[in-house]
Each structure stands twice: as C-alpha cells, then as structure tokens.
Structure 1
Amino acid sequence: TEHSTVTKYIREILTRRAHDVHVSGVNLLRLKELVHCKQMLEATVDLSDQQETLSTTDDDEMPLHNGHDVVEWLVRDLHPTPAVGGKPLKDGMTFIRAREPFDRGFFAAPCGVVSSGGGELAVSLRSALVERRHGSKVHVMAGAGLIDGSVPKDEWNEIRLKMRQFVGTLSDGVRPALKEPMEFPNFNTFWCAVFVDELVRLGIKHFVVCPGSRSTPLTIAVTQHPQATHVVHTDERGAAFYALGYAKATGLPAPVIVTSGSAVANLLPAVTEAHESRVPMLLLTADRPSELRDTGSNQTMNQTDIFKPYALWTRDVAPPCESAPIRSLLSDVDYAVGECLQQSGVVHLNMQFRENLAPEGGAVRGGQYGEVSAFRVPEDSRFTRWQLRSAEPLTRVARPARRVIEDDSVRELISSGTVVLVVGALSSPMDAAAVDAMAEELQCLVLADAVSGCRRECLPSLCLSSQAVLDMLQLSRPTVIRLGGALISKQVQAWMSSKMGPVKEHIRVMDVPRRHDVDWNGTIVVDATCAEFARMVDDLTLEPAVLRTNRSLRDRIYAISSRAEKRVQAELGEECTEPNITRSLANFASNRREGMVISSSMSCRNFDNFCPLGVHLPRVSCSRGVSGIDGTISTAVGYAVGLGRATNLLIGDVAAIHDLNSLVQLANYLNGGGFVGDVKIPPVKIVVCNNNGGSMFKFVPIGKYSDEVAYNENFRTPNAQVAFAGAAKMLGLGGSKKVDDLAGMVESLHHSGLTEIMPKTSQDEDVALRRRITAAVGEVVEESLRLHPGVKLSFIRGGSPGKAPLVLLHGWMGSAKSYSDWLACEELTAKYDIVSISLPGH
C-alpha cells in the first residue's frame, strides 16, 4: 500500500545515520472528512561521529554538532518522501516538474521551528495560500499518492474530501474550480461544462434556455454552474427578443440556447434587429452531427449558415470527442465573445452533439456498440493551468483604453463654424453623458431622438415641421455631428437630406466600422466612441465668436421649443388621446426613474413627437434597426432584467397581438414570486394603446385611399374584438385590466400587469388632431421669429462707376469657385465689375 511504501522508505533513511530505529503498530487517526493510518518512527542519532556522510543523495559531508544539524540532515535526506515526490525519487521529481504547469509553492514543504537544541517540523500537505497581488485569491492545495492498482477516480475523490474543509469555509467568497474530466459521465457533459465555464470567466453569466433534447448538454452545464443564471423561454422567437432587450440594457449578450431544426429559424427576427441596431447577441444552436446531414434524418437541416448575412462570425463546432484539443473549444468561445462585444453584433456557434445527450455514461443511447465517457482527455498543460486558475479565461480580448482622434480637418470644422449635434439611440448612459459634455463644451443646438436618453430642451420633430425653422437652420449652414443609431424623426432626417444643402459638413461618429449613411450625406466618418470624441472636443480651444454663434442658434430653437410645448399642451387638454397617453406614461416613468420600452410604428412616433419637455428618461429603448413590431413584450422583459428595475412598455394593439405568447412567459415569471431560479424579474408594466388597428397607415400615401384598395381589410386590420386585458388575465397576468381614462391608466402602473386603454378619438379624428397641433406649432414659430428675429440681413454696396456690374450666380451644387476661369479672364474684368459669392444654403 501507499502507507507501507512511505513507512519503509523513512525507516531505510533513518537507519543510515541513526540506530535503535523503532516503528510502532498501525493506528487510525479520525478526522472530520477522512480516516488516516498512523505510525510513529523513533530513532537515536549519535553526535560523536563528526565525519559521518550527511546524505546518501548528496556527497557533501557535514558534522552533526547539535540538534539543528540533525534537523537539517533529516530535511535534506528525508524530504521529499515518496508520498509527495514519487519513487524512485529522482525520476518522480523529474516527471512532476515536467508535467505540473504550476509552482507548488509551500505545498509539501517542511514547516516548523528549528533551534540549536533541535526542532519540530511538519509537512504542509493540506494547506491554503492567500495571494494578494491582483486582488485576493486563495489557492487550496491537497494531494493523493498513486501506486500500482490505484483507481484515479477514487484518488480524486480523496483529494476533494481533503479540500472540503477549506472550500466549505470559503464557499461564499471563492469560486470552485471546474471538476476533473473523470468526474463527468460523458464527454458531451464535460465539453459543455468547460464551454459554459469559459463564458462565465469572460463575464457572460446570464443565459436564455429554450427546452429541447439536442441542446441538453448545454442546458445542464448552465443549470449546474454555480455562477450562471438563466431564464427559460418556451418560444425561441421570444427568447431571442428577450436576449435583445437584456443586451440593450447591459451591453452584454445573454447566450440563447436552442435545439436543432425550426427552433433555430425562429431566432431570425431578433437576429436581424440585433444586427442593424449593433446589439451584441450570442446564439448557441444545438445540431445533429455532420454525418446525419443530407440523409433525411429527423429534425435535421442546414442551420450552419442560416444567419450568415447578419452574423459577425459563424462557427460550426464539431461534436465533442476525446481526440480534439479542448483548448480549441476555449479559443472559439474567447473569439466569439470578443467579436460579439468589440463589433457589437451577432455571433452564431452551431454546436453538434452525438449521443449520449443526457448526463449518463456507458452504452450509447440507441446505438449498437461503443461506450461514452469523459475519462480520457489529451494531456495539455495550458488547459491544466486554465483549470487551476478557476476564474481567468484562456484568452481575453482587450480593447484599447483610449483612442486619440488625429484628424485635423475634424478639429477645424468644429472650431470654425456653427455646430449642431444630431443624436440617435445611444447604447449606454455613458454615451449620453458624453453627448451632454459635448453640448456643454460647444454650447450648441442638440437635436436628440426621443430614445437617445439625452433629450432636454428641444422638440425637433415638431419644430422642424415648420418651414421657418428650416429656413433658419439653412441660413446657418452648420456642421452636423451625427452620433448614435437610427432616428425616429423623419423631419430631422429630411432636414439633413434636403436638396437645398443646408448642412456644411456631415461628421458621422461610429465606434463600429459599419456603414450608416442614409441618403449618402456623410462627408467624414470618425471611428470613435462618444466618449473618445467628447475628449477630443474637450481638448479644443474655441473662439468666443464661434461659441456665440452656436449659443445664438441653440437659444432661439430652445425658446421656440418651450413655447411650442405650451401650445401643444393647450391643444391636447386632458382628453384621453394617443398623444396624452404617451405623455402621461412618460411623466410617470420619469418621476419614478423607471425604464421605458417603446414599440415601433405609431408608439415610437407618438413618443418622439409628444414626450413632454423636461421629462428625462435616461434608460429608454426602441427597436429601430429593422423597425419590426414583433417580440416587443419579450424585449421589454429582457430589458427590465438587464436594468434590474421596473420597466414600462408602450405598445400598440397590432404589436401586442404579434407577441401575445410572451404574456404566458411573463406570467410564469411573475407568478413564481418574481424569480426564475436566481434571476429576479422586476415589475413589467404593459400599456396597450388599442386604437383598433394599424393607424400608422393613415400617415402614409395609401391612407388617402379607401374603397379601391380595401383599406380597412388590407392595411388597418381592426382589432376591436380583441380583449387584451381579458386575454392577459386568462394567460395568468392577474393584475391586468381595461381602463377608460388617463387617471386609471396611471393608477394601474403601480404594479405589474397589462393595462388596456382605448383613445377617445377615432383614427380620423386623431389625424385631424395632429394636423391642428402641427399648424399651431407653426404659428408659434412664426410669432417667435417676429418677436426675436434670428436672421439679420446685411447689405454690401460697392463697385466702379465706370464699369457695368456682372453678378455670377451658381447652382445648388456650386460655389463662387465655379467661376474661377471667368474671374481670371482679363477682358471680362476690364469691362465688368464682377461680383461672385457662395450663396448660403448651396
């Protein structure tokens, strides 16, 4: 046995320098977790022989003068024993040093007190080392000896028992290392445990699981990981939209796990939105092995490249097997997460699995031969280091902490003329803070989208519907700095795309190298984050005249917006209309600092046009990548979980019908006490504005037609018969109800559930109301400009009495330089007094 081998070795060493060696009988030493065999060895060392050889493994000679010398002799001759160094000792130590990828440190070191009179030493076998270099880490160490006939799994279980006292004491603060391969029942289970563990090490800890058989190994790995959290969604389409909302709130992907077949195809709508909105999304699709493709096998299709047009990276991961290097899997995970986060988009890992899918070893399920196990793993010292580090990924992709913008033309444009910031949807509060800092530094006008999180004092959509405001902006010919994602406002986009050329230069700031240039107006694209661009602006020295010009335009537009807001409020009154439903919900969310999700179509346009001035909603989201109306409820739930706070959803009746099945999932979450496993589901308040069909079509050209296109049947699609509150109650959302007025709606927002509210105006009356508001805002603008004229005309008089004047005018694509050849002609300049200027707005 191991015990007798070590005892025999110690006795042999002692007899070389000592006499009267005595070995006691075997006793049992009972500890909390283990029982040890215990024997005492005693011997007498004679100090009179001063020239005795000190060590049989070292030819050095040293006299034994005192107890200190005896202790040193014991340490040098006796340590290490076969228990920690193997036998033969030299071969064992050579093997250990070559194969162990770490330094044992104090493990197995002789520790104790030594003096001239003697000493007492112990071998520190079961120990822990606290490391404080990069935060606090605790390295727990224990071991077991292997001899001929040892069962490796039993030896590993012995080590775990030895470590249990440390791990149990520190379990609240120490992340347990991954189990050894031999502890897993099969290679699928081991492979997926490593896969999920690497995701967790990279900070990806929240998962969305869709029940399915082929994805069983992934689901098990997530549910058994001590630091992973997950929600279960029975509908794959809704699951992907949940992940979309979570990523919008956190900036991190929530990996979506689905089985093979049509389950994968259901992810496509959310994938397209994530791609166009530049939202990180990681898809883990289970698949049958490649040998079953194109054979007619059940639930098998070509799903490898299904998302190829929209994915940053797609990987067809081969089935787990003993011959594949495990580091290849870790490297795939690291690269996938790096692409997902650095490029802000979709990554698809299609993962093939053979049986056994369940966590069981032995014979292959449904097979005629062979067994599966996770016992044999190719030796890999780097993978061993990865296991022992227990918290660090194999490879981490690091983004530069700060990029410096070197382009002098950008600096010159900002420093030399009027600047307007146009801001779309932003990905984080940090981006919104950077925009605020830029606006403060430049003292300029900000045309902010309603979902940007940084709208303050301007109603761009309403104000830019006035030709007078457009004329004012056209004469100022600003340099536009375009930040963030897509715009809801057609008015702002139309102004920037005007054929009259109101914009001097169009600087597009993007932190992802992807084209975003509607109507091809961009003149300079800057690869930078909002924060990096803001730092460049902060470093500029702006002339007082430039700041005065910026401030003048900003103050005029903001004053107009303030007056327009008062007029809008007066026109709307207190009636239960779509604009007032939007305003009441926005005020409620702002006052309570809650999250806000807006459905596409009319809901987001209402929000952009009528969200009151002074309402600050730093966390608001709307899917404007491909502007679909499906999956909105699931998106709101994911957004709420990501924010960790109550979230309100404004959605139309048609969009709500598209995602009714997500109400079942939300009810399951909330009826579980607001928890799904370790995940807390914050309150989600849904307001369905039921205006009896798709009212948006009233605002596009087809809305002018009726009988000849069967408008109601083909476009409006009335839904008056759908009782949304009743359906929500039936599906399990008990707090849902239908209300008739704004006060009832606000009251219902104090708890989770669905609130159905129907505007008092018909769709035709709603169109008329909006036209009245637009006309009223136009009157406010005209009056404001008369009271505070923003444009002063300057007259220049000159010329020679003896020459006839010749005024050279250019077209909208030209400038004064268009006539440079004429101005160089001496015959013309001798005969005419030539005037050539660059016209404003051209």
Structure 2
Amino acid sequence: MNGSTAQARVLVDELVRAGVTDAVLCPGSRNAPPAFALARAEMLGLLRLHVRIDERTAGFLALGLALASGRPVPVVVTSGTAVANLHPAVLEAAHAGIGLVALTADRPPDLVGTGASQTISQRELFGPAVRWSGSLAVPTAVTGTEVRRWRSSVARALAAATGAGAGAPGPVHLDLPYGEPLVPTAGDTGPGHDLLGPGIPGGRDDGAPWTAVARPVRTLPPLPLDPSARTLVIAGSGGPAADPGLLGGAPLVAEPSSAWWPHALRTGPWLLDHPELRPEQVVVLGRPTLHRAVSAMLADPAVAVYADPGPDGAAWTDVPGTVRAVGALRALTPPDDWTWSWGDADRAAAKALDTALDDGTAAGAPGLRLARDVTAAQPDGGQLVLGSSNPVRDVALAATPRPGLTVHANRGVAGIDGTVSTAVGAALARGVPTTLLLGDLTLVHDTTGLVIGPGEPSPDLTAVVLDDDGGGIFHLLEQGGPEHAHAFERIFGTPTGADLVGLARAAGWTAEDWSGDPAELAAYPGSGRRLLRVRALRTGLRDAHSALRGAVTAALGRL
C-alpha cells in the first residue's frame, strides 16, 4: 500500500476511535488520499460524510456540526486557496470555542516557492487563530514508527480541539503534505471489512484512541462580591452552565444564544437605561456582544463588575477594563424590593411591547414581530439558528425566552459568513427540525450553503428570510441618521434585487412567500429544506425602534 493511502486511512481510523462521527470534505486532487479514506469509512458505517463544493461553506458546515453536537468535526480540503477559504470559519471557531479540525492537504515542502501550481505556504496560515497546529512528513514507508507518529499527531490535535490539552476548546490545523501517488494502488481499492486493510499496523485492540487524554476539570474560586447587593446578571454566549438557583431572584438579562436565556427577563435589554433600575454590581457570564446599553453599563465606574467566563478556560470579557475579579458565580440573595422592581418593570414593558408590535406602532420594524412569532412557533425539542445583524437582536428584543428550544448564533466574530451552512450543520448534528431566521444579505452571502448534492445528508430546515433588500441594521446605527441620507442607500443599504425564492428553488429547496400563518414558521419532522420569504421595507426601522422605546418608557412611568 502506498504511503499516502496508508497515512490517510490511519488518520481517519484514529479520528473514528476518538469519537468523531461526522466529517466534511471538499473535492480536490491533492486531498484524494483522505477523500478515499473518508468514503471508505462511511461505507463501513464508521462515520457520516458530507461533501461540499465550496471550502468556505464546508468550513461553516463543520462548525455547525461541531457547535450543535459538542464533538470535534474535521473538514478536509485540498491545497492552495482552498485552505485560505477555511479562515472565516476558523476565526469564528476560535472566538466561540468550537472544535473545528482543519485537515489541509499540501504539496511536498520542496515544491513550495518553486512556482508549482496550487502551492502556497500554508503550514502556519491560520496563525494564532488555532489552538494547535502541526504538519506531518510526506508519507513514504509504512512502518510501525511512522504509524505511531501519525496517530499521536491526531491525538494532539483532538486534545487541543476539545480543551483536553492546555487552554479552551477551539480550532486546530493539521497540514498533510502528500506526494504521488495520490490514489490507492491495485489491491487497495476493494471494500474490505475494515478501514486499515492489510499491511498497516493497527491501533489498540480495544478500539480506543492511541492516546487517551483526560479533559482537565477547571474550577474557579467564588467571586468576592456582596451577594446581598442589588445585583444584575448579564449572560452571553459561552460561560458557565445555567443554574438559575444561584440567582436568588436577581434580574437576568441574557442573549438568545446563552444557555441562561430561558431563565431571563423578557424585556431586559429595554430596561437597562432606566436609572431606577441601576444595579450596584453586575456579574457577566460568558461573552455578551449584542447590546450597546450593556456596554454602557459595564463601563460605568459606579457599578462593580465581576466576570464568570465558565470552566473551559476561556478568557473573561472586559471591553471597558472594569472587571474587578474573575471567578465562579456564587449564590445571590438580593433585596426583595430590587427583584420586585425588575419583575414589575419587565411585566409592564412586555405588555407595552406586545401592544406596540400588534397595533401597528412598530409596523416599521417588522423583524421584531417576526422574531417574536418565529420563536414562539418552534416545537419543544426544536432548534433555532439566528443570523447576525438584526435577527439575533430582534429575538433578544422581542421574543419571550422559553425552555425546550436550543438557540444557536455565530457570536464568536459575529459575521454573516456561512450562516446557512452553520444552520445546516446544526440541524444535521442533532437530527431535529431546525429553523433559521436570517436576513436577505446573510442568505445571499452564503448562497452555496443552499447547495446540497443529491445523496448528501439533508436536514429538516426551514429558513425564514426577512427580505428588506439590503442592510437594515445600518438604519439603526449612526450612519442611518438623516444627515447621511444622501449616501446611505448605495454604501450601507446595498440592495441586491435578488430573487431569493428563485435562488432557493434553483438549489432544490421548497420556497415561497410567507402567507402570514404563524404555524408555517416552524420546521417539523419530514419538512425537508424550506425557505419562506417575508417581504419588508427598511425605511421605517429607525422611527419604529424609537416608538417602541417610547412605549416602554411610558409604561414604566405609570408604575
């Protein structure tokens, strides 16, 4: 058996032994050895293979699979720009703590810098974005020594990806230079009954990974805060596991992608600016990124700020530099009048918010009502994936937090890259009906994410697209002010005029305009790939948000 085929089979065998259940592959010539090995492993029922034609899409598909499953997922690509196209997903995985494993085929080192086609210097291409990087030698002889080194490298990569090594979980990179021949030789192409085949030293007889690496148990000391003070808890992505019993009734403002969100106040983001609800201290759980009012509160020197980044070794969030201590959230016992005041304010604000969303006051912000209705429509046990920009914020501002629903969003770097692919991966990983709420620009940005070839695993995924033909979020930022109207639409609004229904149908999705029936907004078993377009205008967004803020303020004034 030639060295390339042998090494690829050993690497895939070691991935399977370590618990990898899904792998993503892009076609190429230089990565033919692992491509054949992965196809063989799937044929033997050892893993599930997903093939995509676009490396950026493939990277985010692997990220979505890893995000929803909690297991590392390899993505295998050929050399050259194919590797560079993984960089956006690697960056998202780095900042979100997701075990993405980039396996990149390469030319032999002696061809780098010679003008050889499709050859770049790719060994350190991802720089500090990866938790670990390594490169194997060009495989030639198949000896026990070489096989042990190959398996050991896979073990190191997976340890770093899962946080079993030093540091938090995250992406890793293993570069695989191959010389010719790149395809199995005669006698090595049959189905066989095991992955390795004759002539390759096996792994451990019990099927265990070559190197067992225990994930360290990290414990933080309790935060040195005053548990009886007027405390507000703010939760973002990541952080400690949700334990609402620790709150003692303290108000909780949580982002939808946080595990704490089901226990949060409905209208918390709307209440942060009100002086009568100002806390003495704030505990930050994980990494909140959505709301400017949160940033302003954390920057207030009169508020004592503490952080609990969770047990995975992630860095704590402290943009304004105000965190006094880092540790584990301890049981809180805030004053009753403090918890009652927040509860009363939340109920009054929620009533005012729903009234405004339903009576036309907020007609200029249709995304808020849509976010509320999409979230409410999902079945228990379902999954909701949120696009960046307005959709995740709309859910945070308008939806009612609820148990029984898993919510995901790419908040590591908060880009719109690969959102469709992330949702496809999340849906396939958990095997439950999944709904994706996103905007038109986010959909267009990941058009190839819609393309799932015949015979590929396909999810029950409903994409609900708010189509306001452009970048609605910019209407809510400084550049959306009337003084910038002369240039806004061309350089920030960026309309595309794309036919999203036609686009989805061309990729094999069932697609139509939403009829207005809330029941259509949820995915269900057997629903397949659906797209619902919700047409909207952007021009009233700024005024509608202002009107909603006014309605909430008026409701609080009547308490």
- Answer yes or no: same fold by TM over 0.5: yes
* Structure 1 gap ranges (5+): 1-184, 363-373, 378-383, 527-532, 539-545, 785-842
Distance 1:188 1:646, change over 3 A: same
2:363 aligned with 1:547: no
> After superposition, what is the alpha-carbon deviation per residue over 1:67-102, rounded to whole angstroms, capped at 9, x for unaligned?
xxxxxxxxxxxxxxxxxxxxxxxxxxxxxxxxxxxx
Whole-angstrom CA distance in 2 between matches of 1:715 and 1:558: 39
Deviation at residue 196 of structure 1 after TM alignment: 1.0
Whole-angstrom CA distance in 2 between matches of 1:463 and 1:640: 31
Secondary structure at the aligned position of 1:315 is classed as strand
Q: Which amino acid aligns with 1:299?
A: Q
2:532 aligned with 1:755: yes
Deviation at residue 420 of structure 1 after TM alignment: 2.9
Q: Which amino acid aligns with 1:270?
A: A
Q: CA RMSD in A?
A: 2.6
Whole-angstrom CA distance in 1 between matches of 2:295 and 2:316: 16
Q: Which residue of 2 aligns with 1:594?
A: 382
Alignment check: 8 A CA contact 1:464 1:492 kept = no
Alignment check: 8 A CA contact 2:462 2:522 kept = no
Q: Which residue of 2 aligns with 1:330?
A: 151
Q: Which residue of 1 aligns with 2:238?
A: 426
Q: Which amino acid aligns with 1:199?
A: L
2:283 aligned with 1:481: yes
> After superposition, what is the alpha-carbon deviation per residue over 1:389-440, rounded to whole angstroms, capped at 9, x for unaligned?
141112111024x5454x4xx454254534332211237xxx54x332322x
> After superposition, what is the alpha-carbon deviation per residue over 1:252-294, rounded to whole angstroms, capped at 9, x for unaligned?
1210000111111111111111111121110000001111111
Q: Which residue of 1 aligns with 2:345?
A: 560
> After superposition, what is the alpha-carbon deviation per residue over 1:571-617, rounded to whole angstroms, capped at 9, x for unaligned?
1116672211111111111x44310000001111111111125x335
Whole-angstrom CA distance in 1 between matches of 2:203 and 2:212: 16
Q: Which amino acid aligns with 1:569?
A: D
Whole-angstrom CA distance in 1 between matches of 2:392 and 2:414: 10
Whole-angstrom CA distance in 1 between matches of 2:369 and 2:352: 14
Q: Give the alignment partner of residue 140 of structure 2, picking from 311, 318, 321.
A: 321
Whole-angstrom CA distance in 1 between matches of 2:533 and 2:524: 11
Deviation at residue 742 of structure 1 after TM alignment: 4.7
Whole-angstrom CA distance in 1 between matches of 2:117 and 2:415: 32
Whole-angstrom CA distance in 2 between matches of 1:375 and 1:200: 19
Q: Which amino acid aligns with 1:189?
A: T
Secondary structure at the aligned position of 1:244 is classed as helix
Alignment check: 8 A CA contact 1:314 1:348 kept = yes
Whole-angstrom CA distance in 2 between matches of 1:256 and 1:228: 13
Runs of 4+ aligned residues of structure 1 deviating over 6 Å after TM superposition are 374-377, 747-750
How many residue pairs match? The answer is 534
2:2 aligned with 1:186: yes
Q: Which amino acid aligns with 2:307?
A: I
Q: Which residue of 2 aligns with 1:512?
A: 313
Whole-angstrom CA distance in 1 between matches of 2:358 and 2:552: 15
Deviation at residue 336 of structure 1 after TM alignment: 0.6
Q: Which residue of 1 aligns with 2:191?
A: none
Q: Which residue of 2 aligns with 1:438?
A: 246
Q: Which amino acid aligns with 2:317?
A: H
Alignment check: 8 A CA contact 2:55 2:82 kept = yes
Q: Which amino acid aligns with 1:308?
A: G
2:450 aligned with 1:648: no
Distance 1:616 1:691, change over 3 A: farther
Distance 1:685 1:332, change over 3 A: same
Alignment check: 8 A CA contact 1:311 1:346 kept = yes
Whole-angstrom CA distance in 1 between matches of 2:488 and 2:227: 53
Q: Which amino acid aligns with 1:426?
A: G
Distance 1:210 1:697, change over 3 A: same
Whole-angstrom CA distance in 2 between matches of 1:584 and 1:505: 34
Q: Which residue of 1 aligns with 2:184?
A: 359
Alignment check: 8 A CA contact 2:22 2:74 kept = yes
Alignment check: 8 A CA contact 1:457 1:561 kept = no
Q: Map of 1:330-729 to 2, 5 A cutoff?
A: 330-342=151-163, 343-360=168-185, 387-400=203-216, 402-405=217-220, 407=221, 410=222, 412-415=224-227, 417-426=229-238, 431-432=240-241, 434-439=242-247, 442-455=248-261, 456-468=263-275, 471-474=276-279, 477-478=280-281, 480-498=282-300, 501-510=301-310, 511-514=312-315, 516-526=317-327, 533=328, 537=330, 547=333, 549=335, 551-573=336-358, 577-589=366-378, 591-613=379-401, 615-616=402-403, 618-665=405-452, 668=453, 672=455, 676=456, 679=457, 681-705=458-482, 710-719=487-496, 721-729=497-505
Q: Which residue of 1 aligns with 2:539?
A: 764
Deviation at residue 557 of structure 1 after TM alignment: 0.9
Distance 1:748 1:358, change over 3 A: closer
Q: Which amino acid aligns with 1:504?
A: A
Alignment check: 8 A CA contact 2:32 2:182 kept = yes
Deviation at residue 515 of structure 1 after TM alignment: 5.2
Q: Which amino acid aligns with 1:483?
A: L
Whole-angstrom CA distance in 1 between matches of 2:19 and 2:76: 17
> After superposition, what is the alpha-carbon deviation per residue over 1:774-800, rounded to whole angstroms, capped at 9, x for unaligned?
01111122222xxxxxxxxxxxxxxxx
Whole-angstrom CA distance in 1 between matches of 2:346 and 2:230: 20
Whole-angstrom CA distance in 2 between matches of 1:688 and 1:290: 46
Whole-angstrom CA distance in 1 between matches of 2:400 and 2:269: 12
Whole-angstrom CA distance in 2 between matches of 1:708 and 1:564: 32
Distance 1:423 1:548, change over 3 A: closer
Q: Which residue of 1 aligns with 2:555?
A: 780
Deviation at residue 316 of structure 1 after TM alignment: 1.8
Q: Which residue of 2 aligns with 1:746?
A: 521
Q: Which amino acid aligns with 2:320?
A: D
Deviation at residue 346 of structure 1 after TM alignment: 1.1
Q: Which amino acid aligns with 2:351?
A: K
Secondary structure at the aligned position of 2:376 is classed as helix
Alignment check: 8 A CA contact 2:471 2:494 kept = yes
> After superposition, what is the alpha-carbon deviation per residue over 1:308-358, rounded to whole angstroms, capped at 9, x for unaligned?
131111112111122663211111111110011012111000100111111
Q: Which amino acid aligns with 2:376?
A: N
Deviation at residue 744 of structure 1 after TM alignment: 7.7
Q: Which amino acid aligns with 2:459?
A: P
Point out the structure with max Rg over C-alpha.
1
* Structure 2 gap ranges (5+): 188-196
Distance 1:594 1:513, change over 3 A: closer
> After superposition, what is the alpha-carbon deviation per residue over 1:159-201, rounded to whole angstroms, capped at 9, x for unaligned?
xxxxxxxxxxxxxxxxxxxxxxxxxx32221211111111111
Alignment check: 8 A CA contact 1:453 1:617 kept = no
Secondary structure at the aligned position of 1:518 is classed as coil
Secondary structure at the aligned position of 2:10 is classed as helix
Whole-angstrom CA distance in 2 between matches of 1:207 and 1:376: 25
Distance 1:742 1:703, change over 3 A: farther
Whole-angstrom CA distance in 1 between matches of 2:268 and 2:423: 25
Distance 1:387 1:346, change over 3 A: closer
> After superposition, what is the alpha-carbon deviation per residue over 1:21-78, rounded to whole angstroms, capped at 9, x for unaligned?
xxxxxxxxxxxxxxxxxxxxxxxxxxxxxxxxxxxxxxxxxxxxxxxxxxxxxxxxxx
Alignment check: 8 A CA contact 2:135 2:174 kept = yes
Whole-angstrom CA distance in 2 between matches of 1:749 and 1:645: 8
Distance 1:767 1:332, change over 3 A: same
Q: Which residue of 2 aligns with 1:105?
A: none
* TM value normalised by structure 1: 0.60
Alignment check: 8 A CA contact 1:482 1:508 kept = yes
Whole-angstrom CA distance in 1 between matches of 2:369 and 2:22: 37
Deviation at residue 713 of structure 1 after TM alignment: 0.9
Distance 1:739 1:548, change over 3 A: closer
Q: Which residue of 2 aligns with 1:174?
A: none
